[in-house]
Amino acid sequence: MKKEPIIPESRDPAFIEQVIKTPVGEKIPTCMQCGICAGSCPVSQEMDYSPRELVRMVQLGLKKEVLSSSTIWICTTCFSCSVRCPRGIHPTELMETLKPIAIAEGIKNRNVKFDNVFSDVIKTNGRASEFLLISKYSLTEPGMIKQLPFGLSMMVKGKLPLSIQRMENTRELEAIFNLGEKSREKK
């Protein structure tokens, strides 16, 4: 993927301060760019910036590039990078810290849309449903129409069940989501 050149004017010192003040931010300045996190990451080839690059970009205060990056949304929170980092930096938690900041800044990209659709489906049903996920995401992402033949072939083969399973009682789940929303508002 072609990356835009990073110019000094895009650096934002206030963003560095903002991230360093968070519970995972203290050790970010100690990153030595060893690359163990990127080498351990099972999905780094799908990201626009590897975990190593993202940490460096935070060090440099590249707010716009960091918050609009697909990396924070593609991370599967597998924790491989966090347990292996020799400096005790936690890239996994950094990704989770950056997500609400990106949302608060109004950053919109297709990864944010998918995250929102996934959360809505879980909040409503208590369980993921591939059919609901794909249908709802397709409504927000017009490019998904190209995947229609693939989706239909999966349905024919019984790989995309139309039945939707729901939790009997989603009250506790709703309470968890509400707590998350409240803590996001506080930030």
Given the rule CB under 6 A, which residues bind ligand SF4? 31-37, 40-43, 51-52, 55, 75-81, 85-87, 89, 91-92, 95
Cα–Cα distance measured from residue 83 to residue 135, given in angstroms and rounded to the nearest whole number: 36
Token pair of 43 as six digits: 């999905």
Helix and strand counts by DSSP (H, E) for the chain: 11, 0
Closest approach of ligand SF4 to the CB of residue 61, in Å? 16
Closest approach of ligand SF4 to the CB of residue 30, in Å? 7
- Given the complex with ligand SF4, which of 53 and 136 has the nearer CB atom? 53
Closest approach of ligand SF4 to the CB of residue 101, in Å? 17
- Given the complex with ligand SF4, which of 101 and 132 has the nearer CB atom? 101
* Location of structure tokens 């400096």: 87
Q: Which one, of 75, 74, 55, lies nearest residue 66 by Cα?
A: 55
- Given the complex with ligand SF4, which of 43 and 175 has the nearer CB atom? 43
* Location of structure tokens 């369980």: 127
Token pair of 59 as six digits: 């060090």
- Given the complex with ligand SF4, which of 55 and 122 has the nearer CB atom? 55
* CA 142 from centroid of its chain's CA atoms: 21
Closest approach of ligand SF4 to the CB of residue 35, in Å? 5
